[in-house]
Amino acid sequence: MKFKIAPILIVCLTLFYQVVDAKKPLNHFLCSKDQIKFDDGDSFSCGDEDIRILGIDTPEIIHKEHGIFIDQPYGREAKALTDKLLRDAKRVVIIRGGRGGYGRSLAHVLIDGELLAVNLIRAGLAHESISRYGDNGMPEFALEVTEAAKAAPKPKFEDPYVWRKKNQKGKK
Give the pLDDT score at 23. 59
CB atoms within 10 A of CB 160: 24
**Helix, strand, coil fractions of the chain, as percent rounded to 5:** 45, 25, 30
Going from the N-terminus, what domains does the chain have, and what CATH number goes with each?
A: 25-167 (2.40.50.90)
Kindly state the percentage of the chain with pLDDT values over 70: 85
Q: What is the pLDDT of residues 13-66, one digit of tens each?
A: 444 444 445 557 889 999 999 999 999 999 999 999 999 999 999 999 999 999
Give CA–CA dist 101/96, Å, rounded. Answer: 14
> Are 7 and 49 spatial neighbours (Cβ–Cβ below 8 Å)?
no
pLDDT-derived band at 131 (thresholds 50, 70, 90) equals: very high
Q: What Å distances lie between residue 36 and 11, 31, 45, 118, CA to CA?
A: 46, 7, 6, 20
Query: Global pTM?
Result: 0.85
Give CA–CA dist 91/164, Å, rounded. Answer: 32
Across 10-130, the runs of DSSP E, i.e. the strands, are 28-31, 36-40, 43-46, 49-53, 56-57, 92-99, 105-111, 114-115, 127-128
> Are 39 and 21 spatial neighbours (Cβ–Cβ below 8 Å)?
no
Strand, helix or coil at 61?
A: coil
Query: Does 86 have pLDDT greater than 80?
Result: yes
Fill in the amino acid letter for 9.
L
